Amino acid sequence: MFVQYVRGFPDDDLTEVERLPFRRTLAVSEREQVWSEIKARWGIEGYWYPLSAKAPKDALALDAEPFFDAETQTRLREALAAIGVSRVWELREFDVDPESPDRELDLEFFEPVYTGAEGFWTDRSLDWLIYASHEDSVTVAGRRLLPAFKHAVPEWAKWIYPTAPH
């Protein structure tokens, strides 16, 4: 009945319907594959930079506090959009919050903050990675993302994570 109702809408009426944002939970097999690819690409062994000793190329560890600000999040999303990102994978070290499982979501939902579980964000390209740690750090990495981030957030140098080598 509902399907017939929707199919009965004239195409002109459907153009007036506002697009819903995209968000979906990753299937277990997909989650395992994505984790495997991210770990291989970025050298993640549990924790990541700056908590691990090995600094990856094109990575910047920053204090997490500014990333709780809506304006900073908006500018980071703009930097990601500038390099062609429209959807992100959000992965957590473990699912502590059933409302926030590993998932793929539209960029507008992206919030790089620690929630009780280490957070990792990237997309299908694996060309960039953002990591929020339990030690109040956010790492921004990627050959194209890092310059876009520095351009979008010119005050980044004031946010260098205290124990990160730079």
pTM listed for this prediction = 0.85
Percent of the chain with pLDDT over 90: 65
Concatenated DSSP letters of 17-61: SPPPPPEEEPPHHHHHHHHHHHHHHHT-BSB-TTTSSPPPTTEEE
Residues 118-157 have pLDDT tens digits of: 899 999 999 999 999 999 999 999 999 999 999 999 999 9
Q: Is the model more confident about 48 or about 9?
A: 48
- Across the range 102-113, mean pLDDT stands at 95
- In this predicted structure, the answer to whether residue 158 has a pLDDT above a threshold of 80 is yes
- In this predicted structure, the answer to whether residue 95 has a pLDDT above a threshold of 60 is no
* C-alpha dihedral sign at 158, 159, 162, 163: negative
